Structure formats: structure tokens, C-alpha cells
Amino acid sequence: MDKNTFTGLFLIMIVLAGSFYFFKPTEAEINKEQQRITADSLKKAGVAVAPTQVTSTPALPVADSAAMKGPFGNHISGTVQTQVLENENLKLTFTNKGGKILSVLVKGQKTYDGKPVVLFDGDQNKFGLNLNINGKVVNTNELYFEATQSSGSVIMRANYSGDKFIEYVYQLKPNSNQVGFNINLNGLNQVIQGNQIALNWEATLLEQEKSRVKEQEHSAPYYKYVDLNPDHLDVAKDEEEELKEGKIEWFSFKQHFFSAVMIPSIPFDKGTLAVKVSTDPGKIKWYGATMQMPFNQLAAQSYAMNIYFGTNKFSTLKAQGHEIEKQVDMGYWPLKYINRFVVLPVFNFLEGFGWNYGLIILVLTILLKVAMSPLTYKSYISMAKMRILKPEMDVIKAKVGDDNPTLLQQEYLKLYKQVGVNPLGGCLPMLLQLPFVMAFFFFFPNLFELRGESFLWMKDLSTYDDFIKFGFTIPFVGDHLSLMCVLMTISTLIYTYFNNQISGATGQMKYIGYIMPIVFLGVLNSYPSGLNYYYFLANMLTFAQQFMIKSMVDDEKIHRTLQENKVKPVEQKKKSKFQARLDDYMRQQQQAQTKQKKNK
């Protein structure tokens, strides 16, 4: 076979193979031909044949671009848009990124430098649900929701697919500080795994007050378990706490004079609260909360709650219910009861007259001093008796000497017993007044009503009056000097001087009283001018009381009474329980010293 013949046969074989491949019948044509042959055979055999129903195989769906991106694929990216709801009390700005409240402006309130009070603002604040979808945690804070707005409400929706979606509904009613907040989950029981979902809220609270240090000292996340009193995290340092001791009725991001409080209709199962002290200018603290909510795998499940945004005015918080007002620090027991049930009602009563708050504090101080005047009178009389007895006590000291202090005290007690004087008679009335003095130490720094209120040279009674600014920091004092604090210190020194004259104090006791006012000058220099103003008034009114009492008390008459008591029969002198216990104690001390001398 020559070369040309071989080439021709090879080409013929390629043509035949291509013909078989390209012109062979399809599988559908073969099936159709087999059905025709079968039908002809059955027809020839006399069997009826039903018409053939041709079914087409459905085409496979083209992959959805949203599904290719993952859960809520169409909401992973988008354009940021904002909506605004406002009433007489609040202005709320919403963003479709995260479907959250972007910022809260409290109307009618100003910062220390005159700007509107904005509780938080910006993308550093996070809010949303953490969902376990097919083993992947999805945070809705990163989704771009579809927003619709109507009168008094904003609706944010993120679609998973078809009729599966997340919906946030915000409602703001007129003249209200509460924002109604509903979470609606529809059809997500088919994709969410587990029986719980987590609500996450993080916010950086902005500086509002003049004293950054004091604002931080009065700011902390608060929380309340059902049937228990509210509690809070540390106010001075970073802290994180797991809340698992019971159902959580509410939690709050509390600042000194403002709060954001979340109140669920059904208490949270458990949660975590965290706080970090901020060092950035204009920022006070960062708060974080993660709360667990039950997910019952229902096709449609909703969670209803309210969010309070507003002031920490005691009466306003109390109107919200749930004992939220207890996050206003009124002091420890029993000081908080004195403030809540005695001082605050009187203050609110005086406030109803519409007076300036400086005048209200003056009248409040006068009423307190009048109520305490019987105790002040007893204290003055007791100290006057001790002063009158001072010459006789000096004689006893000269006879006994300083070598045996126990014997000296026994002789003093005999003298007290003879003349009918209680050596602690001047201290006990002062101790009974002390809780009221200390109660105001918590009352005024936490009283919202004083915020921004001026009196005389004091522009804001809720913070210090920096009458003198140093421009630098002095240890123990700070970078300023408060004039009201200086006046309070001077009045306390004068009060101490006259008090020593009344009591006849000598030695170390005479000078200790002068040290404490100097210490308080450094401590109270950065405290509210309203508090220093109260202490100043209390000192001045005490001077007036003592002057009036002194004009009514005759020292000669007291001296005659003491001398008459000396000559009374012993059985006529009634010994108090305190005196009896003191006598026993001194007797035991004397016996112990005698025994010690014998052993030597």
C-alpha cells in the first residue's frame, strides 16, 4: 500500500467516526422511538394505550448572589442612612448600619460648657444581636438594615431570605423619656441554632460635667435582679462581672446626672456587664453589656422592652418604676433613709415655692437646726457644766498627779457622781446629729436639681466654684480654690474656737479640732459648692443658736445647782446604767494595776 492510499483510508475513517459521534440519536430520541415501537406492538396485540405524558426535568437554579455571600448576604454592605425621631424630651438619631440608635440628645439640658447634652454618639457605640447561624456567629451590628419611618416610629429590617427576617421597631411617644423597642424574629427558627440569643450593647459615655474626676466617681453600670435591690460595678476601676445570681430585671449605663436604662418586659436570663475608665479627652467611661434571651425555636418570636434616656432626677426615675431611682446614691444605711424619707421630701416641698435653690438650702438648713435645737441645748449645757467643774478637776489632778491615770479617772468619776454630771452628755447630742450632717455629704453631690443652678458668685451649685484658678496643680488642693469651701473652713475654725471656750478643752484636745477643718479644705475643695454652702450655713446657724442659749443660761445658777447636788444624800442620787458600767470598769482597772504592782 503506497503512501497516498494509506492517507485516503485514514481520512475516510475519521469522517465515519465523526459521523457516528455527531449524528447519533439523543437519549430522548431513543426513548421516544422505544415508546413508539412498544405502542405499535401493544396496538397490534389489541391493548389500549394511554396517551404519553412528556415530563421535562427542571433546570437547576442559578446560585443566588446573596447566598454566595452568607447569612443576610444582601445586607452585608450598603450605604449609611440616618433617620430622626424626637419629642419634647429627646432627639434620637438612628442609623441603618446595625439598625441602632446612633445618638441620643437630651433636650433642655446643657453640658458645663453650654453644649447640648448628647449621651453617646458615633460608630464606636454598638448594638445588636449575636446569632448562631449554621455554626457561624452573626452580629447584626454589622448589617445594613432597610429602614422605614412613620409618625413616632422607625422600623429596621434585615432579610435572611424569603419570609425570614429580623425586625427592630422603635417607638417614641410624646412627652416621654422611654423608647419602646421590639425585636421581631420571623422564620429564623429554621436557621438559628441553640435555645438562646445574645443582645449586645456597647457605648462610650461622653463628658458632661465640669469635674471629670467627680463625674467618673459617680458613673457606673447598674443592674437589678428580680426581687433584689439594685447594685453596680466598681466606680473607680475597670471591671467585668457575670450576672448569674438570678433573672435580670434591668440594667443601666449610668453617668453622674444622666442614664440609659434597658428594661425588658421579660427579665433577661443572665448576662455580663463591663466598665472601663476612659483616658481620652471628652470621654468618661466605656460600658458593655451582653444579655441572654431565650429562643424557643418558634416561627415568629418577639422581645419587647423599653429604654429610658434622661436625667437622674430622683422623682423622674421613680416615675419609670422598677426601683430605678435607687441608682441615685443617697449614702449608706442609715444615711440613705434619712435622705430619702426626711431630707428629700422637705427639699421637694420647698422647691414647690419656686425659690432660688440657694434660698431653698438656707431654709432647709434652718429647719434642720430648729429640729435639732433640743439636742444642741443639751450639748451646750453639758459642756457648760464640764467647764464650770474645770477648777475642781484641776485640784484633783494636783493631788493625785499624772502617775496613776486610772486613779485620776476614778476621782473624776466620783466628782461627776457627786454633782450629777454625765461626762459624755455633750458628746451624745452631737453624735445624734452626726448622721444628718453626713447624710448631706451624699445628698447634695447627687441632687440633679442643683445642676446648672446659680447663686451669688456660684454659677453651678452641683460642682465646685473655682473662684481662684492656679493654672497648675497643688498637691492635696488641686488646680483651683473654692471660695465657698474657704468660707466653710474659716467658719469651722471659728466654731471650733468658741466650742473650746464653752467646753473648756485643753491640751491636745484643744488643737485637734483645728486640724480637721484644714483637712476638709483639701477634701471638699472639689466638691459641689452647694454642699460647702450648706456646711457654711450650718456653722453660722450654730453660732446663732449658741449665742441665744448663752444669753438664756446662767453659769452661776448651774454652779449653785452642782454644789447643791454634792450635799444631797447618796440615796437621792440616781446612778445611770452607763455610770454603773463605767464604775465597774474603773474598779477593774484599779484592781489590775494594784495586782501588777504586787507582782513587781
d(CA 437, CA 369): 11
Residue 391 has pLDDT above 80, yes or no: yes
- Band (pLDDT 50/70/90 cuts) for residue 14 is low
pLDDT of residue 289: 97
Residue 511 has pLDDT above 70, yes or no: yes
- Residue whose C-alpha cell reads 429564623 in the numeric block: 188
The least confident of 33-42, 369-378, 452-461, 493-502 is: 33-42
pLDDT of residue 130: 93
Give me the mean pLDDT over the 17-32 stretch: 49
Cell of residue 63, nine digits = 446560585
In terms of Cα–Cα distance, which of 205, 208, 3 is closest to 124?
205
d(CA 15, CA 23): 12
Q: What is the maximal distance between C-alpha atoms in the chain?
A: 166
Tell me the CA distances in angstroms from 506 to 152, 492, 513, 559, one per residue in order: 72, 18, 11, 20
91 shares its domain with 206? yes
Query: Cβ(88)–Cβ(174) under 8 Å?
Result: yes
Mean pLDDT of the chain: 84
d(CA 329, CA 199): 28
d(CA 329, CA 535): 20
282 shares its domain with 369? no
pLDDT of residue 569: 63
φ, ψ of residue 81 in degrees (nearest 5): -130, 150
d(CA 379, CA 398): 28
Mapped onto helix, strand or coil, the DSSP state of residue 340 is: helix
194 shares its domain with 306? yes
- Band (pLDDT 50/70/90 cuts) for residue 41 is very low
Give me the mean pLDDT over the 141-146 stretch: 94
In terms of Cα–Cα distance, which of 464, 469, 512 is closest to 488?
464
Query: Cβ(405)–Cβ(574) under 8 Å?
Result: no
Query: Cβ(235)–Cβ(227) under 8 Å?
Result: no
- Residue whose C-alpha cell reads 426513548 in the numeric block: 31
444 shares its domain with 492? yes
pLDDT digits (tens, 9 = 90+) for 221-270: 999 999 999 999 999 999 999 999 899 999 999 999 999 999 999 999 99
* Position 38 in a domain: no
310 shares its domain with 406? no
Residue 305: count of CB within 10 angstroms of its CB: 20
CA atoms within 13 A on the CB side of 158: 29
φ, ψ of residue 259 in degrees (nearest 5): -145, 155
* Position 58 in a domain: no
d(CA 386, CA 419): 11
Count the domains in the chain.
Answer: 2
344 shares its domain with 489? yes
Question: What CATH number is attached to the domain comprising 271?
Answer: 2.70.98.90
Strands lying side by side in the sheet with 164-172: 146-150, 153-161, 164-172, 178-186, 300-311, 258-264, 248-254, 220-225, 231-232
d(CA 446, CA 215): 10
Got the DSSP string for 87-150? -SSEEEEEETBTTEEEEEEEEEEE-TTS-EEES--STT-EEEEEEEETTEEEEGGGSB-EEEEE
285 shares its domain with 412? no
Cell of residue 520, nine digits = 476638709
* Position 357 in a domain: yes
Dihedral of CA 469/470/474/479: which sign?
positive
* Position 597 in a domain: no
* Position 427 in a domain: yes
Range of the domain at 459: 339-572
User: What one-letter code names the amino acid at 336?
Assistant: K
Q: Of 360 and 124, which is predicted with more confidence? A: 360
* Position 41 in a domain: no
Q: Which of 299, 326, 353 is the last residue of a domain?
A: 326
320 shares its domain with 343? no
Dihedral of CA 240/241/247/251: which sign?
negative
Residue 5 has pLDDT above 50, yes or no: no
- Band (pLDDT 50/70/90 cuts) for residue 39 is very low
d(CA 142, CA 139): 6
Give me the mean pLDDT over the 340-367 stretch: 96
Tell me the CA distances in angstroms from 9 to 5, 18, 19, one per residue in order: 6, 14, 15
294 shares its domain with 412? no
pTM, 2 dp: 0.79
Q: Which of 280, 299, 326 is the last residue of a domain?
A: 326
343 shares its domain with 229? no
- What pairs with residue 466 in β-bridges? 482
- Band (pLDDT 50/70/90 cuts) for residue 103 is very high
pLDDT digits (tens, 9 = 90+) for 426-458: 677 778 888 988 999 999 999 999 999 999 999
pLDDT digits (tens, 9 = 90+) for 187-206: 998 889 888 899 999 999 99
Residue 556: count of CB within 10 angstroms of its CB: 8
358 shares its domain with 303? no
d(CA 456, CA 482): 13
- Band (pLDDT 50/70/90 cuts) for residue 506 is low
Residue 119 has pLDDT above 80, yes or no: yes
Q: Which of 258, 291, 326 is the last residue of a domain?
A: 326
* Position 290 in a domain: yes
234 shares its domain with 188? yes
* Position 3 in a domain: no
Residue 311 has pLDDT above 80, yes or no: yes
Q: Of 73 and 358, which is predicted with more confidence? A: 358
